[in-house]
Amino acid sequence: MGESPAPVNVRLVNVTKQFAEVRAVDNLSLDIRAGEFLSLLGPSGCGKTTTLRMLGGFEEPSTGSIFFGEKDVTGLPPYRRDVNTVFQSYALFPHLSVGDNIAFGLRRQGVSKADAAQRVGEMLELVDLAGLSARRPAALSGGQQQRVALARALVNRPTLLLLDEPMSALDAKLRKHMQIELKRIQSQVGITFLYVTHDQEEALTMSDRIVVMNQGRIEGLGTPREVYERPQTDFVASFLGASNLLPGILGSATQGYYDVEVTGGHRLRVAAANVAEGLTASSAVQVGVRPEKIHLVPSARAEEAGTNCLRGVVRVATFSGVGNQYLILSPDGRDFTVYAQNIGDALAPRTGDEVEMRWPVEHTFVVRPSGTMTNEGE
Amino acid sequence: MSGSGTSGVTRLRRRAVPYLLALPAAVWLVGLFLVPLLVMLVKSLETCSPMTGACTMSWHWGEFGSQLSMFHKQMLTSLKFAGIATAIDLLLAFPIAYWIAFYGGRRKNFFLLMLLVPFFVSFVIRTVIWEFLLSNDGIVLTTLRNVHVVSTDFHILGTSTAVIAGLAYNFLPFTALPIYVALERIDRRLLDASQDLYASRITTFTRVILPLCIPGIFAAFLLTFIPAFGDYVNQQVLGGIGNTMIGTVIQNTFLINLDYAGGSALSAILMVISLVGILLYGRLIGSATIGEFL
Ligand SMILES: Nc1ncnc2c1ncn2[C@@H]1O[C@H](COP(=O)(O)OP(=O)(O)OP(=O)(O)O)[C@@H](O)[C@H]1O
Ligand SMILES: [Mg+2]
């Protein structure tokens, strides 16, 4: 592949983007590490595309700065930035062949025709499109167009590659295939990827780290496991996967554990590591657990150490092939979602049964209310 | 798939539908365009009596040669005027169309309407108004004379300049609209992509915008050049002796000299010249998608 330029970190520092009415990005700071695959996840309209466009140079931040390594690129136009983009719609040039599309960036940078042709050839190999160089984009399938868009950006060996929902036009099967391809290509070229997606599973499987955004702010940042197992805010807990959340008051720490008092006088135990940063004793918090972490047991069974438990009544039981999904009505009138794998348990509870919900203390977490995160979460 | 009678009938009907839909237009085209065209070509081979206008078929090919030798000068004048007017229109229309397409914002339709408003008035009247404007005691020349920009014996009416200006003015919308459509159609994300790939604004214009609107420019060229080439109104109203265009010659041959054979031969020659020109032009800029824009 030839050598890439020395990888550098890309930093957004207190970046805000105010459109006439809307604050699309709100005082956002983020450090993108050299060579990582970072996903940007969040609901529609939360500012993902705007963030990408500011990195690409298509929008200027209202306030704040963007650095590539030590260089401040905030005011630079797109064609002066060492960034390339894979656009959602691919935006391939319809009047140019596949080869000329891929060579476009190289030629504009003054690479000679012969050198460009050679690198285009290598790139076509990498994305598995050798032999299609002379075709027009209109004569390619969706998946092929997507790979041309990727090749056209990657061939320039940018400091940062931006991908704005590049898979959204592909069907589920092709999408799976391209996810694997993309991950392979990324590890092969070692370029930093900033990947915007709506698809949580995609973000969880492909990323080194995930950023969860909401209303222009970062709500969560970390490895997929960290963000999933130890969400920092209630927004992250319910946006990324599903969570059962209960309001409560955080007690004081004893031997690495906190007790949270929830309505009805119950106490739930949480490991200190699973309590969101910046919370102090007796603050109002939410305590949560993922649906798949809960076991349902007949309510008469003896308590076990190291578990939290709450009683309830099965309100709805749904069979979905690989598993059973339950809605359990807890005493304070809240529905809990519980997901149990279908492992042939003959004692699976039925609607109306009284049950006890049990889950390990280490799978219990405590989150802050949304929007209160201090942005940099290194 | 071959099957019962019903599916055969359905298939037949499905195949027939496009042709049925095209029928009214086809009848129109054949009856009112192709037939007269053939009649004209046949007429050019007949011999007509200058007294009565009655014609008899004589397979007389000589008409083409004799008309050409008589009026080649006017042909060349027409080619020149139409060419210059088209060039002026392309240069004027491109920035207008570009501005409306890229910076028109929400008022695009309003701007397009402004471009077209003068053309709600009849072609002849518009041209006559130009005559009025450019006449020796008209507002333009009087003002220019009063401020001593031009000498007292300066005139525009009757010159080639007046004819070309009239042509350029009258056909401007035919140039601007196809270019506008072509520019408007360009996916704006391609411009982002181009800048993303290190092309400056100027390079983006020459490498992306211009190539993508060439079919529109070609359509604009055809829609301006062909009517301007055959036009006689502008020359008759704004021109004078010495700049007669072929359109005037044809009109006179038909309507004053009643020489239908000669007029038909001239028209046929005009058509062939236009066709050859178009084919050459199309070949040169290699446009495969002209059809889309016409
Ligand atoms: N050019 C603009 N002018 C005004 N408002 C804008 C502009 N671009 C974006 N916005 C607004 O900024 C907010 C963030 O938009 P953005 O496109 O960044 O969202 P997104 O996270 O990419 O959403 P999606 O997942 O739907 O693509 C939205 O409320 C949007 O309406
Ligand atoms: Mg978006």
Q: How far apart are CA B25 and CA B34, in angstroms?
A: 12
Q: Give the residue extent of every domain in chain A.
A: 8-229, 234-300+307-367
**Closest approach of chain A CAs to the CA of B279, in angstroms?**
21
When comparing pLDDT for B165 and B281, which is higher? B165
What's the pTM?
A: 0.80
Closest listed residue to residue B77, CA positions, set B254, B280, B240, B213: B240
**Residues A253 and A272 sit within 8 Å (Cβ to Cβ):** yes
Over range A54-62, report the average pLDDT.
Answer: 95
Residue B84 has pLDDT above 90, yes or no: yes
Homologous superfamily, domain A8-229 = P-loop containing nucleotide triphosphate hydrolases (3.40.50.300)
pLDDT in tens, A334-355: 899 999 887 776 667 888 888 9
Secondary-structure breakdown of chain B: helix, strand, coil percentages, each rounded to the nearest 5: 80, 0, 20
DSSP A15: E
Whole-angstrom distance between the N-terminal and C-terminal Cα of chain A?
A: 32
pLDDT in tens, A254-305: 888 999 988 777 889 999 889 988 888 888 899 999 999 998 888 766 777 7
Residue A199 has pLDDT above 90, yes or no: no
**Residues A257 and A348 sit within 8 Å (Cβ to Cβ):** no
**Residues A364 and A270 sit within 8 Å (Cβ to Cβ):** yes
Closest listed residue to residue B97, CA positions, set B208, B220, B229, B211: B220
Ligand 1 atom closest to the Cα of residue A213 is 21
Q: Which residues of B touch A95 (CB under 8 A)?
A: 208, 211-212
Closest listed residue to residue B101, CA positions, set B191, B21, B195: B191
Region for residue A15 given its phi and psi (left: phi exceeds 0; alpha: psi -120 to 50; beta: otherwise):
beta
Q: How far apart are CA A103 and CA A118, in angstroms?
A: 10
Provide CATH code, domain A234-300+307-367.
Answer: 2.40.50.140
> Which uninterrupted H or E stretch holds A312?
strand A307-319
Look at strands A192-197 and A37-41 and give their pairing.
Answer: parallel
**The dihedral sign for the CA sequence B76, B77, B79, B80:** positive
Q: Does the interface predicted TM-score (ipTM) exceed 0.85?
A: no
Measured between CB atoms, does A93 come within 8 Å of chain B? yes
Over range B115-121, report the average pLDDT.
Answer: 86
Q: Give the residue extent of every domain in chain B.
A: 1-32, 50-293
Q: How many Å lie between the centroid of ligand 1 and the Cα of residue A257? A: 42
Extended strands (E) in chain B? 46-48, 55-57
Ligand 1 atom closest to the Cα of residue A52 is 18
Measured between CB atoms, does A110 come within 8 Å of chain B? no
Fold topology of B50-293:
MetI-like fold (1.10.3720)
Which residues make beta-bridge pairs with A23? A18
Taking an 8 Å cut-off on Cβ atoms, the answer to whether B212 and A87 are in contact is no
CA closest to B201 among chain A residues: A79
pLDDT in tens, B7-49: 778 888 888 888 889 898 999 988 888 898 888 888 888 877 7
Over range B127-154, report the average pLDDT.
Answer: 84
DSSP A9: -
Residue A125 has pLDDT above 80, yes or no: yes
Q: What letter represents residue B31's amino acid?
A: G
Supply the pLDDT for residue A1: 41
Measured between CB atoms, does B194 come within 8 Å of chain A? yes
Kindly indicate the confidence band of residue B142, based on its pLDDT and cuts at 50, 70 and 90.
confident
When comparing pLDDT for B251 and B7, which is higher? B251
